[in-house]
Amino acid sequence: MRSAFQRDRDRIIHSAAFRRLKYKTQVFVYHEGDYYRTRLSHSLEVAQIARTVSRALGLDEDLAEALALAHDLGHTPFGHSGEDALDEAMKPYGGFDHNDQTLRVLTLLERRYAEFDGLNLTWETLEGVVKHNGPLDDPPPSIRAYVAEHDLELATWPGAEAQVAALADDIAYNNHDIDDGLRAGLFDVDALAEVPLVGPVFADLMARYPGLERGRLIHEAVRALIGLMVEDLLDETNRRLAAGKPQSADEIRRMDRPVVAFSDAMRANDGALKRFLFQRMYRHYRVNRMTSKARRVVRDLFDLFLAEPETLPTEWREQTTGAATPTTARVVADYIAGMTDRYALDEHSRLFNPYGAS
């Protein structure tokens, strides 16, 4: 009763890794407020945009949705600060990359089925997850090991649905970070005035609806910005399809550039918004304080578990060599990467607070 891609989507939704996204940081750590986006709400928003775009382009909506829902499964607790800390700790053992970790989750770490490890997803879903940002010339260790047995054609572009999911990710997090940043008071509407595309949208709404309450203004602006970016994406993609005339998914993969794309003007607008958010939101002192704490938590946990693997929970300890070896390091990285923000903070308290519960 289900297509193969619908089955992929359903297995992703029912996975433990997907549920844990509820308490994994997008920008704000979960306890800073219930309103802000988490990895889970972000993934659902990406999936909605990806389905809409795929439907308009005549692509497979179920594949695009599966890719959107899976794209963040490998993220550590505490967002990019957690990933940076784990990557630094893992440098002697091949490093850590959340895209690489997503493949580990989908093919190895989800242990729920009697006949196989992972979720046993289709080639198209795994290929799209691994390559959603484009061809891979120097793949991380787990991807390299997987493709040695199951070729994902790393030198080509991904299928069109994966390209849609990648840009849906950009559209979602850029615009929803505007929403979260404004509501958190990290910057105000006036600060956005000089940001291309964003400033004019806010100015137009304030002119059309004088005195509109702030919450409605923010929502209408974000809604309009998403609409403008989606429309531009559809126009540019249709233009590239008409020019390239691909007749199959394989031809799309072997084109000399992605077929799903923003126009040059929108790509410039997207870059300007990213620069603004980097300076005014991701590097705000309130965010910096939490990310500094997050890096210490991740590094403390890694160093302890690597030096003393007997402190790991039994099912994880049994996978180690019992010493500080590359095998043990990878098990420790898998364990920490799967933690939610809340669990990582609690585990740190249990292990480093003399008065914490054991």
Task: Going residue by residue through the chain, which has 358 residues, state the pLDDT in tens, using 9 for 90 and above.
Answer: 899 999 999 999 999 999 999 988 766 544 455 557 789 999 999 999 999 999 999 999 999 999 999 999 999 999 888 999 999 999 999 999 999 999 999 999 999 999 999 999 999 999 999 998 899 999 999 999 999 999 999 999 999 999 999 999 999 999 999 998 998 888 999 999 999 999 999 999 999 999 999 999 999 999 999 999 999 999 999 999 999 999 999 999 999 999 999 999 999 999 999 999 999 988 888 888 888 988 999 999 999 999 999 999 999 999 999 999 999 999 999 999 999 999 999 999 999 988 766 6
Q: How many Å separate Cα 185 from the centre of its chain? A: 24
In terms of domains, do 68 and 23 share one?
yes
Range of the domain at 183: 160-284
**Contact, 74 vs 101, CB < 8 A?**
yes
Query: Considering only CA atoms, which of 135, 40, 85 is closest in space to residue 348?
Result: 85
In terms of domains, do 270 and 306 share one?
no
Report the interhelical angle of 79-89 vs 285-307 (nearest 10°): 40
In a domain, 155, yes or no: no
**Contact, 100 vs 141, CB < 8 A?**
yes
Query: Considering only CA atoms, which of 105, 165, 107, 178 is closest in space to residue 131?
Result: 165
In terms of domains, do 302 and 321 share one?
yes
**Contact, 236 vs 261, CB < 8 A?**
yes
In terms of domains, do 120 and 39 share one?
yes
d(CA 145, CA 104): 10
In terms of domains, do 337 and 292 share one?
yes
What b/e readout covers 127-149, taking b as 16+ CB neighbours within 10 angstroms?
A: bbbbbbeeebeebbbbbeebbee
In a domain, 18, yes or no: yes
In a domain, 144, yes or no: no
**Contact, 294 vs 78, CB < 8 A?**
yes
Q: How many domains does the chain have?
A: 3
Specify the pLDDT at position 29.
46
Radius of gyration of the chain (CA): 21
Helices (H), 90-208: 98-104, 123-131, 141-147, 160-184, 198-208
In terms of domains, do 13 and 119 share one?
yes
Specify the pLDDT at position 245.
96
In a domain, 145, yes or no: no
In terms of domains, do 64 and 126 share one?
yes
Whole-prediction pTM: 0.93
Q: Is 71 helix (H, G, I), strand (E, B) or coil?
A: coil
In terms of domains, do 228 and 326 share one?
no
The tokens describing 105, both together, are 């989750």
In a domain, 336, yes or no: yes
In terms of domains, do 235 and 330 share one?
no
d(CA 303, CA 112): 29
CATH code, domain carrying 124: 1.10.3210.10
In terms of domains, do 164 and 267 share one?
yes
In a domain, 298, yes or no: yes
In a domain, 152, yes or no: no
In a domain, 347, yes or no: yes
**Contact, 150 vs 157, CB < 8 A?**
no
In terms of domains, do 342 and 261 share one?
no
In terms of domains, do 177 and 64 share one?
no
Query: Considering only CA atoms, which of 215, 83, 238, 264 is closest in space to residue 164?
Result: 238
Specify the pLDDT at position 283.
82
